[in-house]
Amino acid sequence: MSMHEPLGTPGSPKSLPLILARELASNLATPMFLIDSGGMLVFYNDAAAQLLGKPFADLGEIPSGEFGADLQMTTPDGEPVRRRDSPAGVAFFEHRPAHMTVMATTYDGGRRQYDATAYPLFGATGEMHGVVAVFWQHQTDGAHD
């Protein structure tokens, strides 16, 4: 019996695939975000913090929908990207990998273009543990501050 908060609330127990994904993210220079099976943004690494302009510890666990709203994601042409259509949304709701070039607003007010890749984490018996999302900053386009 778990004595923790249920999934989808801050501080809820983390499954081993998510724990291992966090350890991987913590040791990478690539911005990486983790969403749990309840839809909470539960972690992003230092590289992502640098990109977003805010350390994860300052933001804490929040629903991924709120986080997505903060980012104000659009296509490079300025078309809004709905949460369900973002790479993380596709991975979460449709259980398949997705990739997209997006513009996003950072917490320091900048607006930058990224390639975003997301994929679902399935466990040994096919159970969904969450989503890994990776942002690749466009080297050629640079920042659009």
Partner 1 sequence: MRARVWGCRGSLAAPGADTVKYGGNTSCVEVRLESGHALVLDAGTGMRPLGVAMQQDPPTELHIMLTHLHMDHLQGLGFFRPLFVPGADIHIWGPSSPVEHLADRIAMYLSPPLFPVRLADVPSKLTFHDAPEAPVTIGSATVRAGKVTHQGPTVGYRVEENGRALVYLPDHEPSLGGSLVDVPPEWMSGHDIARRADVLLHDAQYREHEYGSHVGWGHSSIADTMVFANKAEVENVVLFHHDPYHTDLELEDLLTEARAQWPGMEDRICLAAEGMTVVLDRDGVAMRG
Residues that bind partner 1 (CB under 8 A): 1-4, 11-16, 19-20, 22-24, 26-27, 43, 123-126
The CB-of-25 to partner 1 minimum distance in angstroms stands at 10
Rounded Cα–Cα distance for residues 61 and 16 (Å): 18
Q: For residue 19, what are its two tokens?
A: 């724990």
The CB-of-55 to partner 1 minimum distance in angstroms stands at 14
Smaller CB separation from partner 1, 78 or 126: 126
Smaller CB separation from partner 1, 28 or 72: 28
The CB-of-53 to partner 1 minimum distance in angstroms stands at 23
Rounded Cα–Cα distance for residues 44 and 52 (Å): 10
Would you list the DSSP string of 47-102?
HHHHHHTS-HHHH-SEEHHHHHHHHT-B-TTS-B--GGGSHHHHHHHH-S-EEEEE
The CB-of-59 to partner 1 minimum distance in angstroms stands at 14
Token pair 């050629």 is found at 140
Smaller CB separation from partner 1, 12 or 113: 12
